[in-house]
Structure 1
Amino acid sequence: MASRLAACEACRKAKVACDHKRPACTRCASNDRAGICIYRTTPFKRRRVSSSTPVQSPSRLPPAQPSFTARSNPYPNPGFLGSSSHVAIFNEISPQDYHASDTYHASEDMTMLMQSQSTGENILLIQGADVLRQLLNTFPLAAMKDFVTFWLETGANLALAEPFTEKCTENMTRLFTSFSQEDNWHLAYAQRLTQNSREPLQFNSTSDMESFSAQFLDQKFRWESLGIFLSAVSRAAIDISFFPPLFKTEKDQFMLRKLSTKLSDLALDIAFSLDCLNDLQLVLQYENFIVHTHVDGDQSYHSWSRLGNVVSSMFALGYHENVEKTKPPIPTFLAELRKTAWATTYSADKNVAIFLGRPPRMSKRFCHFQVPLTPTSSEQVSNTSHVEDEVIRWKIDTPICYRSGIRWATLCSALKEDVLELLRSKQRDNFNQKASIIRQKAETQWAHLPPRFHLSGTLKECSGDAFERDLLGSIRLDQLHVLFLLQLSFLDTLTEPDPSILDISDQMLSLVVDAILLRDQLVNSGIGLVWKIAHFGLPAAGIILLSMLKQHRTLTEARSSWSKTILNLGIFVAQVQVGSIVRRGDPNYALVSKATQTIERFLDSIHREGIQSPTQLPPHLGENGDWATFFGQDVCDFETDFWENLAYHPSLLASDPTLPAI
């Protein structure tokens, strides 16, 4: 006697015949409802409701709640296990050394435990389904797709998810075809996404990008795919301030950004709960971190902790090792994706560590240094005797694209790590020699970079498009930042800047001010405008203000005119004050506004009284004044405390009678 087959949920609710085909029955497939063709795990088993459990209102809790296994294995996924782990030792034991009967097999008790984990509801899944319904009921899906497409047409993209952004966007409207007539359509879709996300991503040495992508598109759409699309929506809502099909006011723009970010977070959390790390999940994890730097701010603990999670996943997947020597061999496109993931995470780790003054989490001493190839290039990184000797050769026709920017940022980050180690070194015996080696590497890297990547003149004089102009500016800022940090390491105190670091600071500030003035003619090529200001502009401005306040005679002789520098500082203050860069309520407002107030107070003082020389200051506030003790923090720290301390410099206090004297 044939066993009884259950109809799918859509056919069961409609009370029509179902042919039980999987993954979608014929009726659902022909009606463009394959996305909600879900088969229940235990269709003929009634749920028991405990008498002690309060019955919730149907309006508050959907009657059909999806359930899924948080993970199919009771043991956690161990991920990559390196040469120092116990696995490396046990792998040396030959199978002949022990009896086959001693091999471990799962017991019946363990099998029952695994089955018992599949019962009950999962709160993350229900939350994800609810936010999905709220988002799509508030903002039309077709309009969101057009919104992301418009954003992509400007030249912007997600730096790491670039190969998948457009694919995931196109497939959104194919997946969500019909749901308005179903009460619990959001729960059905959530369950389908979860089922798909459980499936491992298959590939072999001959796989290509199309066959790999097909595993998470169309009816195989996953939470990771949805998260990538939502990350693009969030980023577009940050870059584009007016898009009538979706929003006309700041309130609606903020609501779109909030909902898309929240659902992206839940998509990532649900994917994590399945305990099956994969390449697509890592891509989403990194892009989610970038979104939070925009939403929560660059100083936010939430952003910093999410970067730490990306680093943890990177190590757990083993992508800090040489991905080209993976066994069995992986396809070229996937090796490049993994190298890109390592490179951009490594670069972000170094820059965030410098910005926050915290220890970096990734060290190239424990990683295989690797950078991605560009679409039309075949450059290789040649490691000679040690990873510190990495040298990259660029082809003359290397395209200006995201991966080129990531390659350059990674090379600069390696030098920044060397500078950080130099700053932390307790031994100053070989300091000058080590610093000279770092400087030589920086100059060699710049010389090897194709001439078309060298910014000649100002950003305004650059003849490229918006993306190219922004990328060339970012590349130059990264180069200057390496030299800035290196020169900073020679200073015993922040109050004693020398002419070399002043010249570098002037160049950095000028470039950042150009980016501010040309912001409508630039497209985010990987480094946003606010990050340019916070990471490059503010440290440069801080050094310049310190030198002006200190007024060493050697500096005034070397720099006969401060007019251009003062003009750049004035432009920076004016742009912040009118709200063109950050506005009250923005995540980075506190940092930028505090620095702006100090710069403004300084500009007011020099316009009223002129720059005082050391001989004009009171004796106790001269070159050896006690105000220098306020700068006892690390020489790389230019956060809010720096600007608060600088605001109490005696010269600035004298210009504002409302402030207390020191």
Structure 2
Amino acid sequence: MEPQPNAAPSSVPRRRNGRQQACEPCRKRKLACDHSLPSCQRCRRRNAEAGCVYLITGTASGSAARRSTISPRAVPPDRHAPPSARPSPTRSPSSSGIEGSREESPAPMSPPTSGCDSPGYLGPTSFSAVFAEAGDQFASPSAAQQQHPAYMANAQQWTPPSTGPRGRSELTVGAESTPAASTGICPEKMEDYIRVLRSIPPADIGELLYNRNYSPMDGWVRPAMMHIIASIWGAFGEHLACRTRKSLAAMAELICANSSKALDEEIHEPQDWLASFSGRNLRWESLGIAFVVYAFGAMEYTPAEYAAHTRQEGVDAVDPRQLMLIYKECAIKCGEFCKEYGANSLLLCLSYKNGALESMVSSDTSLRNAVMMSETTALCLYLGMHVDPAQDRADKKPSISYEARRRLFYGIMVLDKAAAIVTGRPPLLNSRYISTKLPLDLTNEELMGSRSGLIEAAARLDSNGWNLNPAITPVKYMRSRIDSVLVRDEILEIALGGPNVRPNHEQLVRLKERELRQTAQMPEVLVWKPENVYDQRISPMELFGKVMMRLEHLQNMFFIERLLGRTWPLQSSAHGSTAPTLPPSISAELLTVSVEIVTLTVTLWMHRDRVAGVQRDFQWLVGSPAPFSHGTPLLYHMPRPPAASFAWSCSDNPNTPRPRGGTTPPPPSRDPT
């Protein structure tokens, strides 16, 4: 018979050949064990007594009947199953593992050792770089061969050891051990899995939410999101149609098994790349991305619009805001589910989109958003995304995996700089440490065709990676925005620097010239003209891109002019004018930029019907706080002109918004508070 699970062994168990069993740490490392109790001397010297356990095998014949037991001190308290769910000694797990997951707790597992954790990306100053660079100079041949793959080949994905559906290392008891004894999922986690899977919307609603959600600032591959959503119902339609506990548990087991496998980051064919995380290969990361898409789509609807589109009225009506919050929490849960399996670019994409969604729900200044953003940037650096994916690869030709990672990284960087501007806190990513190339200006259709077609399309780009086709693409907008973000990164270094960082006039002048030069070289399709807002031939995404790129430029100029005012104050008038003098740090250029910022922001808000579908991406412009509202207080420092002069200036400036009645609005009055 087997010993009781909670009883520590009184003597060291023996193997079939009669020899004493080694403890698990010594056995895994193939080291000699002294077989002492309660822990061996080697584990005591390593201060790892909690992990020093001896596996006790049962005497029943057959590999399926074998069970493994460890000391209770090796099991974390939260992993103990309730007494009612403890396994019966005579009951064997079901072949599917579903029924057993409801009635049995998983076999106790030893805690993972530190050697199971991936070190992530290791750069040139890491501990492994010393061994890799020294090479054969070491006396020990084995030391000369120690080359960490993350440093030598820039490998960004760790291949985990054999894991079960719970993401923990499987215990192997002898050569005849079977994984069927440890495929069950603890009841608490299974309940979480089922709750998330029950929240998947019907296929038609999912497609509706996807089509409603469209943003030029998506930092990934949009067709991949649609493929994930469609593949969920294509592969698991039977499970989601009935939504019984048994069917959803089977679906959860398969997703857990897929998530426990390392994601292949070196797939270059688009269809193979999509198949690696969708359909029957669905992972928690990809399901979380689908929930984020659902949440963004629900955010775009008003209750009346959603009821009209879904034909749900009366008691069946659903508040899209509450629906968005449900999808948002499901996306966060999916991220938590897959963290224990290891990190990959898909998890980073989910973390990035969760952070973007959280910033819209609780604002950029909230603690929750700050924590999520810091976690995203930490994961980004952990995976080595700041280093170009093709830098140390033999195959440097364009591929879907390379471009997806480049888009993702710069999407995170743009979000990081936007948060730094809003909060006034230092950004978490610095351009000084970035070697990732800009994503190529390719359409999603060219990217998702075939690799040969992708290479041909890349060959038609100019030397800087720009598409000669004047049509607007998400990457064209992203590339132009990154140029402004890189300038803003240097602005933030000066503006947020410590007391030892003083604004330098020459440096700021060079930044200003660089910003003006980049704006002049911007693709024509992204150049803003006042008459664009009335041109119905311009698509909502193109119009939004034009306005946003102009605001990006004005924002940089706003901060540069403010810093220039600190280094080169304006002098008083030499003619003794009695007109109100401006504060020393406010120049005429700064006021001009401020007027255009406020005017353009109001223009976009007044014509928000022209950008239906992306309103969630510009609502923060007129919120509080908002980075573009910095120019408003400066308008109070302008000398107030006579009414006739103000009316003439409004008629001369086509950017100035006019009331529908045709009369000239009065100048803004100063708030007495």
Answer whether TM exceeds 0.5 for this pair.
yes
- Give the 3 Å change call, closer, same or farther, for CA 367–403 of structure 1 in structure 2: same
The answer for the alignment partner of 2:672 in structure 1 is 652
Out of 538-547 and 468-477, give the one that drifted further: 538-547
The Cα shift of 1:253 comes to 1.5
Out of 259-268 and 298-307, give the one that drifted further: 298-307
The answer (yes or no) to whether the contact 1:231–1:260 under 8 Å persists in 2 is yes
Distance 2:389 2:81 in 1: 55
Q: Deviations over 1:464-497 (max 9, x none)?
A: 1111111111111111111111112234599653
The answer for the alignment partner of 1:162 in structure 2 is 222
The answer for the alignment partner of 2:469 in structure 1 is 397
Q: Does 1:126 align with 2:193?
A: no
The answer (yes or no) to whether the contact 1:143–1:246 under 8 Å persists in 2 is no
Distance 2:318 2:422 in 1: 31
Distance 2:352 2:140 in 1: 44
Q: Report how many residues are paired.
A: 515
The answer (yes or no) to whether the contact 2:270–2:400 under 8 Å persists in 1 is yes
The answer for the alignment partner of 1:518 in structure 2 is 607
Distance 1:559 1:369 in 2: 55
Q: Does 1:465 align with 2:507?
A: no
The letter for the 1-side match of 2:293 is: A
What TM-score comes out, normalization by structure 2 length? 0.66
The letter for the 2-side match of 1:97 is: A
Tell me the secondary structure at the aligned position of residue 362 of structure 1: coil
The answer for the alignment partner of 1:487 in structure 2 is 561
For residue 212 of structure 1, the aligned residue among 259, 273, 285 is 273
For residue 209 of structure 2, the aligned residue among 143, 148, 158 is 148
Highest CA radius of gyration, 1 or 2?
A: 2
The letter for the 2-side match of 1:87 is: S
1:540-551 equivalences under 5 Å are 541-548=629-636, 550=637
Out of 404-413 and 155-164, give the one that drifted further: 155-164
The answer for the alignment partner of 1:192 in structure 2 is 254
The letter for the 2-side match of 1:472 is: K
Distance 1:237 1:121 in 2: 32
The answer for the alignment partner of 1:591 in structure 2 is none
The Cα shift of 1:430 comes to 7.3
The Cα shift of 1:304 comes to 2.0
The answer (yes or no) to whether the contact 1:541–1:569 under 8 Å persists in 2 is no
The letter for the 2-side match of 1:508 is: I
Q: Does 1:274 align with 2:349?
A: no
Distance 2:461 2:433 in 1: 17
Distance 1:161 1:123 in 2: 36
Q: Does 1:476 align with 2:496?
A: no
- Give the 3 Å change call, closer, same or farther, for CA 157–169 of structure 1 in structure 2: farther
Which blocks of at least 5 consecutive residues in structure 2 are unaligned? 1-62, 73-79, 87-98, 147-160, 173-181, 444-456, 570-581, 660-664
- Give the 3 Å change call, closer, same or farther, for CA 485–178 of structure 1 in structure 2: same
The answer (yes or no) to whether the contact 2:494–2:503 under 8 Å persists in 1 is no
The answer (yes or no) to whether the contact 1:226–1:267 under 8 Å persists in 2 is yes
Please tell me the root mean square deviation across aligned C-alpha atoms, in Å. Answer: 4.5
For residue 175 of structure 1, the aligned residue among 228, 231, 235 is 235
What TM-score comes out, normalization by structure 1 length? 0.67
For residue 451 of structure 1, the aligned residue among 493, 507, 524 is 524
- Give the 3 Å change call, closer, same or farther, for CA 144–428 of structure 1 in structure 2: closer
Q: Does 1:500 align with 2:589?
A: yes
The letter for the 2-side match of 1:131 is: R
The answer for the alignment partner of 1:589 in structure 2 is none
For residue 289 of structure 1, the aligned residue among 336, 339, 355 is 355
The Cα shift of 1:370 comes to 2.8
Distance 1:246 1:67 in 2: 48
The answer (yes or no) to whether the contact 1:128–1:190 under 8 Å persists in 2 is no
- Give the 3 Å change call, closer, same or farther, for CA 652–282 of structure 1 in structure 2: same
Tell me the secondary structure at the aligned position of residue 176 of structure 1: helix
1:191-590 equivalences under 5 Å are 191-202=253-264, 204=266, 207-241=268-302, 242-244=305-307, 245=310, 252-275=319-342, 277-329=343-395, 332-368=399-435, 370-375=437-442, 378=458, 394-423=466-495, 424=497, 431-462=504-535, 463-492=537-566, 497-523=586-612, 528-534=617-623, 538=626, 541-548=629-636, 550=637, 553=639, 560-561=645-646
The answer for the alignment partner of 2:84 in structure 1 is 55
The letter for the 1-side match of 2:416 is: D
- Give the 3 Å change call, closer, same or farther, for CA 252–527 of structure 1 in structure 2: closer
The answer (yes or no) to whether the contact 1:131–1:259 under 8 Å persists in 2 is no
The answer (yes or no) to whether the contact 1:234–1:260 under 8 Å persists in 2 is yes
Q: Deviations over 1:310-350 (max 9, x none)?
A: 11111111121132313353652222122112211111111
Which blocks of at least 5 consecutive residues in structure 1 are unaligned? 1-41, 105-109, 383-390, 573-602, 612-650, 654-662
Q: How much identity, in percent, do the aligned residues show? A: 17
Q: Does 1:135 align with 2:199?
A: yes
For residue 124 of structure 2, the aligned residue among 76, 83, 107 is 83
The answer for the alignment partner of 1:385 in structure 2 is none
Distance 2:633 2:215 in 1: 37
